[in-house]
């Protein structure tokens, strides 16, 4: 009987850890994406004709329709990896930390984890980006809604990408 108790304790500990793992964690593959180019055009359409193509080009470069996202949520922090880019590492409790994008632009980035969603925010002197990753009711879909705000834009850019397991 003693050996049975020794077996039960590790199994219960493993089940407890598994139960705590976020349903958002895992690798997700794109199943649908908004027409991001059309969303960009709608955002910049009221801009000056000289600034409009510059803003459109920059927004298009920085807002691809990601094909894959990998989310890892632990008690130590959150990592979000988009396509083949380096993972973005953030504190778990919403504390902003410095992060530098591949092009050298610096941001303060933070993650707020809730039961069925992850809110990721990027801020710098030029503006703010918020990525909301929301788990679908079936637990098999994840929708990323991105919102980009800047004093240089006449209105926010918003679009969504849906992923599946």
What phi and psi, each to the nearest 5 degrees, are found at residue 3? -65, -30
Task: Count the domains in the chain.
Answer: 1
Question: Across all residues in the chain, what is the average pLDDT?
Answer: 89
Q: Residue 4's pLDDT band (boundaries 50, 70, 90)?
A: very low
Contact predicate 97/108, CB 8 Å: yes
Burial bucket for residue 86 (CB in 10 Å: 0-12, 13-18, 19+): exposed
Mean pLDDT to the nearest integer, 119-145: 97
> What pTM does this model have?
0.86
The verdict on residue 133 lying in a domain is yes
Mean pLDDT to the nearest integer, 36-64: 97
Q: Which domain holds residue 29?
A: 22-164
- In this structure, what CATH number is given to the domain that contains residue 109? 2.40.128.20
For residue 20, the model assigns a pLDDT of 60
Distance in angstroms (rounded) separating the CA atoms of residues 47 and 110 = 30
What phi and psi, each to the nearest 5 degrees, are found at residue 13? -65, -45
């Amino acid at each position: 009987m003693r050996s049975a108790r020794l077996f039960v304790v590790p199994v219960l500990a493993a089940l407890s850890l598994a139960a705590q793992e976020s349903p958002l964690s895992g690798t997700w593959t794109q199943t649908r994406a908004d027409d991001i180019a059309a969303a960009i055009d709608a955002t910049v359409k009221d801009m000056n004709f000289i600034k409009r193509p510059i803003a459109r080009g920059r927004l298009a470069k920085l807002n691809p329709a990601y094909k894959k996202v990998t989310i890892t949520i632990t008690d130590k922090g959150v990592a979000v990896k988009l396509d083949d880019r380096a993972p973005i590492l953030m504190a778990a409790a919403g504390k902003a930390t410095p992060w530098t994008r591949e092009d050298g632009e610096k941001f303060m980035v933070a993650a707020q984890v809730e039961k069925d969603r992850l809110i990721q925010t990027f801020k710098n002197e030029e503006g703010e980006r918020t990525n909301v990753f929301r788990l679908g009711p079936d637990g098999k879909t994840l929708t990323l809604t991105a919102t980009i705000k800047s004093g240089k834009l006449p209105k926010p850019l918003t679009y969504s990408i849906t992923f599946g397991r």
